[in-house]
Amino acid sequence: MTKILFLHGWHSVPGGVKPTYLKDHGHEVFNPALDDDDFTLAVKTAQAEFDQHQPQVVVGSSRGGAVAMNIKSGDAKLVLLCPAWKNWGTAKSVRPSTVILHSRADDVIPFADSEELARNSGATLIEGGTDHRLADPEPLEAMLRACENN
């Protein structure tokens, strides 16, 4: 069992398809509600959850990916789902151990943003899914594999 901090996207809520999928596969998932309007507050909330639970993996979806990039996460592995890093926050790179999942068909966050982040950071970019949500079986499985290979 892996401890996972799951940071949801903008106008998403805790307990969605992706964190539930991780929980259903035997992982301990912390899934705080992040403020939609105040990015600094969202980062503060995520940092407090990280400090309290010390997860081995931080999964950030879309805006939650930008939040994940802007917290101090020590040696925890980052798994970023269509990260909206160009839209929010100041972080412009991630550790090379980071895995980024993104759909080329994403109509919300350009695939090229993740290509640039992976290139600049030496991170692994995995293409998959049919849209921004990455809630289909294939990307869910890829997210699970990325979380379990730490």
pLDDT, residue 7, reads 98
Q: What is the pLDDT of residue 40?
A: 97
pLDDT at 140: 96
pLDDT in tens, the chain (150 residues): 899 999 999 988 788 999 999 999 999 999 999 999 999 999 999 999 999 999 999 999 999 999 999 999 999 999 999 999 999 999 999 999 999 999 999 999 999 999 999 999 999 999 999 999 999 999 999 999 999 986
Q: What is the pLDDT of residue 150?
A: 63
Against a cut of 0.75, is the pTM above it?
yes
Quote the pLDDT of residue 131: 95
What the block records as the tokens of 146 is 């990325």
Which CATH number is 108's domain given?
3.40.50.1820
Residue 12, pLDDT score = 87
User: Which residues share a beta bridge with 7?
Assistant: 60
Number of structural domains (the chain) is 1
Domain of residue 70 covers 3-148
Crossing angle of the two packed helices 137-148 and 17-24, in degrees rounded to 10: 60
From 68, 56, 74, select the one nearest 32 (Cα to Cα).
Answer: 68
Q: How far apart are CA 72 and CA 45, in angstroms?
A: 12
